[in-house]
């Protein structure tokens, strides 16, 4: 997830300006009903890229980013909005009149959040609360992307009803955001995302798999925290599941979007390396507690995905199926 689509850039204090929107779209044929309107925040980010690439047939998508977003090529409307203030977002809602909003934007660098707690709260909680309230006022459905790291890591696997136990600033801001979303409307959705694997479906985004494969191809050793345990989900499945949550009014509340396999980060990285034809010995485990300036992380935040499997048509899959989907999608989108 990215701060309004700028996943790898540090945020600035320029939160009070709105840049004019650039829009292009294709009108539906006369014999078709107009597509419902969907706002996607964080348009330059990893997760949003999956939604934009897969959702244009079903939705009239309005993609919001801080700066220049991905080229819509007639498939969605692009909006540049660099603000955390309510008024510019309220103006966007009045202009677009969305049926749903998928909020992927966040300040997601855990260590940066630890060093800048006020900004982290302003972005991750403040903006989310604004969007939750605007959605409630406009009768729109909000799907908010939260995180598996809200848990303390000592009582896995976690179900939706298990209490959060945040261990760092980032997690505290995401817990506060969850409360804001659920308090604003009973129809809103909190989607807690497991660690996301995949190659960027659109643009660049913040893909640890892409960075890892680039390092291995260059002959560099990749280090990963060995003790941290997760239930990875692939970005293609995730994009589909988020759009289903946005469209399915029978679903609300909290959903865990996670894969079917529980792995530590070293096992995960080595299996990815082997799948893409690399020597797993190039991936080395480290003790993350020895890294200077690293914020606390929970040990095991594997999540139970039984609710998603029971209520969503989008199947939650294991790592092998996820990696196959990632490779096929990447190959189809190559020029």
- List pLDDT tens digits, range 50-70: 999 999 999 999 999 987 777
- How many C-beta atoms lie closer than 10 Å to residue 31's C-beta? 5
pTM of the model: 0.89
- Three-state DSSP at 308 gives helix
Q: Where are the domains of the chain?
A: 3-195+234-258+303-317
Chain CA centroid to CA 120, Å = 16
CA 59 to CA 214: how far, in whole Å?
A: 34
DSSP per residue, 101-133: EEE------HHHHHH-HHHHHIIIIIIHHHHHH
Q: Quickly name the fold that domain 3-195+234-258+303-317 has.
A: Rossmann fold (3.40.50)
- List pLDDT tens digits, range 275-309: 999 999 999 999 988 888 899 999 999 999 999 99
Chain CA centroid to CA 45, Å = 8
What does the pLDDT read at residue 203? 63
- List pLDDT tens digits, range 199-235: 887 766 778 999 999 999 999 999 999 989 999 999 9
Average model confidence (pLDDT) for the chain? 89
CA 107 to CA 120: how far, in whole Å?
A: 6
């Amino acid at each position: 997830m990215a701060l309004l689509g700028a996943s790898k850039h540090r945020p600035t204090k320029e939160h009070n300006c709105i840049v004019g929107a650039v829009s292009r779209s294709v009108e539906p044929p006369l014999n078709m009903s107009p597509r419902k309107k969907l706002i996607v925040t964080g348009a330059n980010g990893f997760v949003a890229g999956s939604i934009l690439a897969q959702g244009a047939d079903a939705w009239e998508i309005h993609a919001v980013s801080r700066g220049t977003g991905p080229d819509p090529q007639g498939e969605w409307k692009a909006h540049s909005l660099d603000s955390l203030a309510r008024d510019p977002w309220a103006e966007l809602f009045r202009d677009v009149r969305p049926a749903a909003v998928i909020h992927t934007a966040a300040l997601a660098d855990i260590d940066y959040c630890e060093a800048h707690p006020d900004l982290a709260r302003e972005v991750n909680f403040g903006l989310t609360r604004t969007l939750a309230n605007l959605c409630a006022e406009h009768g729109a459905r909000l799907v908010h992307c939260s995180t598996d790291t809200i848990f303390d890591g000592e009582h896995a696997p976690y179900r939706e009803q298990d209490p959060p136990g945040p261990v760092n600033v980032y997690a505290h801001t995401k817990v506060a955001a969850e409360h804001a979303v659920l308090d604003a409307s009973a129809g809103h959705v909190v989607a807690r995302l497991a660690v996301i694997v995949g190659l960027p479906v659109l643009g660049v985004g913040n893909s640890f798999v892409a960075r890892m494969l680039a390092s291995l191809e260059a002959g560099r050793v990749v280090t990963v925290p060995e003790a941290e345990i997760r239930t990875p989900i692939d970005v293609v499945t995730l994009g589909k599941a988020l759009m289903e949550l946005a469209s399915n009014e029978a679903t609300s509340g909290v959903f865990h979007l996670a894969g079917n396999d529980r792995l530590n980060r070293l096992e995960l990285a080595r299996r990815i390396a082997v799948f893409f034809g690399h020597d797993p010995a190039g991936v080395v485990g480290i003790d993350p507690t020895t890294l200077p300036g690293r914020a606390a992380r929970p040990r095991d935040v594997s999540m139970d995905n039984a609710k998603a499997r029971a209520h969503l048509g989008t199947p939650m899959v294991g790592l092998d199926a996820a990696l196959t989907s990632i490779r096929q999608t990447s190959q189809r989108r190559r020029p």
